[in-house]
Structure 1
Amino acid sequence: MSVFTRSSTSTSTGSTSDGKNGTTGGTLNATTTQAGRRPRLSGMTWLVWRQHRAGFWTILAATALCVAWIVYQRGQLVDFLDGYGYPGKSLDEAGGKFQPYNNAFSFVSIGLQAIPTLLGVFLGAPLIAGDLENGTAKLVAAQSMSRTRWLATKLALAGLVAVVSTVVLSAVFGWWWHPVKSESMIMDWTSGAAFNTTGPVPVALTLLSVFGGVAIGVVLRRTLTAMAVTFGFTVVLQLVWGYFLLSLGNAVTVTTNKGVADENGFPSLPHAAYEIDQSYVTGSGDLVGWGICSGSTTDAARQVCLDKADVVGWSLEYLPMSQMNAMQWFGASILFALTAGVVAFLFVWGRKRLV
């Protein structure tokens, strides 16, 4: 009897709350609905994130700290340039006053260039190799989730973290460098310090390094061995990339026919252009090396040598800075294509050997 009475009382109270003013039940339902609609990880995504959350959060936190420091440095740079009178006054006249800012650029660019190697070694290589080594992969394969979905989730989350960090750092670093972008004394735009740390290039290099490290770990199945090999892979990747970097652009050639002894005969190049090569031009249009008369001991003897070779002017090959953006996207597209090939290999290999 008492149980029935408590039940009736509870029912009566609930109906009164809902029917009398419609507030209590409505509030509870709204709260439950809002809580249910909050975005949250679940299933395989939650499992992978939880497994690697320490590494993911470390990367994101380090990115946030670097962004804060770069924003501060950018403010310091702009204040200096405004007080100095740039661009009305050349930075060549600043002397040691600009050296701290130059050192800051060098320090940060070195760190950004190391990101593909760091993420390849510490994020990519252990991502699957650790699961293969400790047996977690066999446990996952025994569950209802497919190995393909497990692999796809791992690659997607690792790739997302790598892309977010590199995109943000690349954008902020480019924003910091932009006020003095045309000053080669700070960073030559064809050097890795500038070319590999701005635009899409750092994203493409990092993704290839990370997924390349994953592929190495899948094949070797040992974490430490995979990390060591991945380190070598990323170093070789950066060396090869640096070797072919200038070939991404279309060299522009400019020639003169006003002789080579007069300073006015030397062709003028656009500001911040990168000079690739220079040669002498003969009257017949042939090119000869500019050192052809370097053995002459006097100006008169040199002139005789030039006349004998029929040298009439200069020929210069250069890359204008206006090509930088196109070169970066062209190079990044090649790296993205290689990354897609590595990912395809991982899925093909994963169907048979990922246990």
Structure 2
Amino acid sequence: MSTLTSTSIPAGTEPVRRGPRLSGLNWLVWHQHRAAFWTLIAFTVVAVGWMAYQRGQLTDQLNGIPGWPHPKAGDWEMKVDNSWLTLTGSGLGFIPVVIGVFLGAPLVAGDLENGTAKLVASQSVSRVRWIATKLGITALVVVPLSVVLSVTFNWWWQPVRSRPNILDWTSGTAFDTTGPVPVALTLFTLVGGVAIGMLLRRTLLSMVVTLGFAVAVQLVWSYFRLDLADVVTVTTNSGVGENATPRLPGGAYWVDESYLTANGDLIGWGSCNEATEKATNACLNDKQVIGWSVDYIPFSQMSSMQWFGASILLALTVATTAFILFWGRRRLV
């Protein structure tokens, strides 16, 4: 992108290189966005330190419970303070939005607005290579940091992962901040912001629109999150009295329950919600209710759900990246 001038070096003198160094286009992209990159790195270091400290606090609490790791008291979960775990998980959920708005949207839009893109187009570096380098360097920063945050939060949560009363694994606080999901969400929001910036060509406007896009992604994702699961159904035929409800595996997420009739039909559990117990029993007998049918999602599916969802998000990321490169090649300036 620029002409480099050389200076004479005395014979026998070689420049000292200490470790790998960026050069050329890679150095230019890093230098251009180094403030954002270093901010992300610093935030990650602080966040990891904070979560490591809180992991130690959680471990101390659990070790203070009689019988841990197999406590006999049924109310031991009430003794665990989950406030920081929940608050931190909620905060980590905003990272894809922040990266999309403050890094993705200005990544190319800023160059289009201030004229840098025209300078690039006039140089020997192709527009596709320039955009690919920008995306590549940014991804090389964002992906490892997202992985580190995901692994660290999961490590903090690990001792109580199967206890939904402490942190519900189906919520965004846990599901979207562990495993491959935060990485996939961050990448998709990032490239979505880049695409919006290329189309709108104005930094501030692109950031505002990207904010709406990122929030919409979060809302849609949260709405369809449980659709990634394979719902399991368990039935009983021992009546609907006390203690007749099927026992679900530990950590299972209850989806729905219905009455099971003698001929195998399902009716809503509120169908016999009568004023008196006698009337309720009469209704159950009239409808020939013999037991329960309960739909649930086992905790063991969490990992497969995360990878399935992440694969969808990564496919959308690849498609959006292909559009960015195509558009940048033909209509960048």
TM-score grouping bracket, smaller chain normalisation: over 0.9
Deviation per CA, 1:86-108: give whole Å up to 9, x if none.
Answer: 3333573464x533xx1111111
Classify the secondary structure of the residue corresponding to 1:279.
Answer: strand
Matched, 1:46 2:27: yes
Instruction: Note the C-alpha offset of 1:37.
Output: 6.9
Matched, 1:281 2:264: no
Matched, 1:297 2:279: no
- What residue is the counterpart of 2:131 in the other structure? 151
| AA at the equivalent of 1:92 | D
Q: Does the 8 Å CA contact 1:91/1:98 hold for their aligned counterparts?
A: no
- What residue is the counterpart of 1:126 in the other structure? 106
Between Structure 1 and Structure 2, how many residues are aligned?
A: 321
Q: Does the 8 Å CA contact 2:188/2:316 hold for their aligned counterparts?
A: yes
Matched, 1:58 2:39: yes
2:69 to 87, 103, 115: 87
Classify the secondary structure of the residue corresponding to 1:265.
Answer: coil
Matched, 1:98 2:76: no
Instruction: Note the C-alpha offset of 1:243.
Output: 0.8
Instruction: Note the C-alpha offset of 1:264.
Output: 3.2
Matched, 1:180 2:163: no
- What residue is the counterpart of 1:22 in the other structure? none
Classify the secondary structure of the residue corresponding to 1:178.
Answer: helix
Q: Does the 8 Å CA contact 1:253/1:318 hold for their aligned counterparts?
A: yes
Cα pair distance change 1:66/1:141, threshold 3 Å? same
Gaps of 5+ in 2: 1-10
1:71 to 31, 52, 57: 52
- What residue is the counterpart of 2:244 in the other structure? 265
Provide the C-alpha distance between the structure 2 equivalents of 1:278 and 1:349, rounded to a whole number of angstroms.
50
Deviation per CA, 1:243-291: give whole Å up to 9, x if none.
Answer: 1111101000000011112x23211100010010000001010100000
Instruction: Note the C-alpha offset of 1:175.
Output: 0.3
Provide the C-alpha distance between the structure 2 equivalents of 1:61 and 1:92, rounded to a whole number of angstroms.
39
**4+ aligned runs moved over 6 Å, structure 1:** none
Provide the C-alpha distance between the structure 2 equivalents of 1:248 and 1:128, rounded to a whole number of angstroms.
34
- What residue is the counterpart of 2:200 in the other structure? 220
Classify the secondary structure of the residue corresponding to 2:290.
Answer: strand
Matched, 1:234 2:217: no
Gaps of 5+ in 1: 1-13, 15-24
Q: Does the 8 Å CA contact 2:170/2:253 hold for their aligned counterparts?
A: yes
**Percent identity over paired residues:** 58
Instruction: Note the C-alpha offset of 1:308.
Output: 0.5
Provide the C-alpha distance between the structure 2 equivalents of 1:270 and 1:126, rounded to a whole number of angstroms.
47
| AA at the equivalent of 2:306 | Q
Classify the secondary structure of the residue corresponding to 2:132.
Answer: helix
Classify the secondary structure of the residue corresponding to 1:281.
Answer: strand
Higher helix share: 1
Provide the C-alpha distance between the structure 1 equivalents of 2:60 and 2:158, rounded to a whole number of angstroms.
14
| AA at the equivalent of 1:211 | V
Provide the C-alpha distance between the structure 2 equivalents of 1:304 and 1:206, rounded to a whole number of angstroms.
55
1:311 to 283, 286, 289: 289
Provide the C-alpha distance between the structure 1 equivalents of 2:180 and 2:29, rounded to a whole number of angstroms.
27
Q: Does the 8 Å CA contact 2:262/2:288 hold for their aligned counterparts?
A: yes
Instruction: Note the C-alpha offset of 1:115.
Output: 0.3
Q: Does the 8 Å CA contact 2:65/2:76 hold for their aligned counterparts?
A: no
For the pair shown, the structure with the greater C-alpha radius of gyration is 1
- What residue is the counterpart of 2:6 in the other structure? none
Instruction: Note the C-alpha offset of 1:157.
Output: 1.0
Classify the secondary structure of the residue corresponding to 1:264.
Answer: coil
Instruction: Note the C-alpha offset of 1:229.
Output: 0.5
Instruction: Note the C-alpha offset of 1:38.
Output: 2.6
Q: Does the 8 Å CA contact 2:90/2:172 hold for their aligned counterparts?
A: no
Provide the C-alpha distance between the structure 1 equivalents of 2:74 and 2:321, rounded to a whole number of angstroms.
46
| AA at the equivalent of 2:268 | G
| AA at the equivalent of 1:43 | G
Cα-Cα RMSD: 1.5
Classify the secondary structure of the residue corresponding to 1:280.
Answer: strand
TM-score normalised by length of structure 1: 0.88
Cα pair distance change 1:230/1:281, threshold 3 Å? same
Classify the secondary structure of the residue corresponding to 2:170.
Answer: coil
Provide the C-alpha distance between the structure 1 equivalents of 2:35 and 2:305, rounded to a whole number of angstroms.
36
- What residue is the counterpart of 1:191 in the other structure? 171
Provide the C-alpha distance between the structure 1 equivalents of 2:217 and 2:277, rounded to a whole number of angstroms.
47
Cα pair distance change 1:240/1:94, threshold 3 Å? closer
Deviation per CA, 1:287-311: give whole Å up to 9, x if none.
Answer: 00000011x1211111100011111
